[in-house]
Amino acid sequence: MSQTRVALSKFEIEVMDVLWRIGEASVREVQEALADHKSSAYTTVQTILQRLEQKGAVRRTRKVGNALLFEPAVTKRSIHRRLIDELLELVGGSQPLLSHLVETGKLSLADLKEVEKHARKGPAK
């Protein structure tokens, strides 16, 4: 799977989450999977999948009858890394982000211990 640095909107990430979870899927299957928490028209999902294909985030795998099937062309990890890198750049580094997480109670002592464990290992390759 490609690690292309692709910028995605929130809804595009929701569509990608469906594909990362179920793998290859048709527009209808993606729409139905999204229906659990969001009402989206078939044509909206179709348009989003076409945009994701243009961005290189998904690829068409085959056609079954009239239905095109799509699969992810980028990993969830690569998209998350890009979002986090953009956020860190926007807020001026990790310190403001960590301070916010601590102040709002969204970073627990267990989380900090896990961060410390990773920091001791060094950067991931």
Give the pLDDT confidence of 42-80 residue by residue, as tens digits. Answer: 999 999 999 999 999 999 999 989 899 999 999 999 999
Q: Is the dihedral of CA 84, 88, 93, 94 positive or negative?
A: negative
First-residue to last-residue Cα distance in the chain: 17
- The residue length of the chain stands at 125
Judged on CB neighbours under 10 Å (0-12, 13-18, 19+), 97 is: middle
If one counts every other C-beta atom within 10 angstroms of the C-beta of residue 54, the result is 9
Judged on CB neighbours under 10 Å (0-12, 13-18, 19+), 29 is: middle
CA 20, CA 30: separation in Å to the nearest integer?
11
- Residue 3: what pLDDT? 47
- Residue 37: what pLDDT? 67
Q: Both tokens of residue 88?
A: 């860190």
Order of strands, sheet of 58-64, starting from the edge strand that comes earlier in the sequence: 25-26, 67-72, 58-64
pLDDT per position as a tens digit, 4-52: 567 889 999 999 999 999 999 999 999 999 976 677 899 999 999 999 9
Q: At what angle do helices 10-22 and 27-34 cross, to 10 degrees?
A: 110
- Residue 116: what pLDDT? 86
Instruction: Evaluate if residue 124 carries a pLDDT over 80.
Output: no
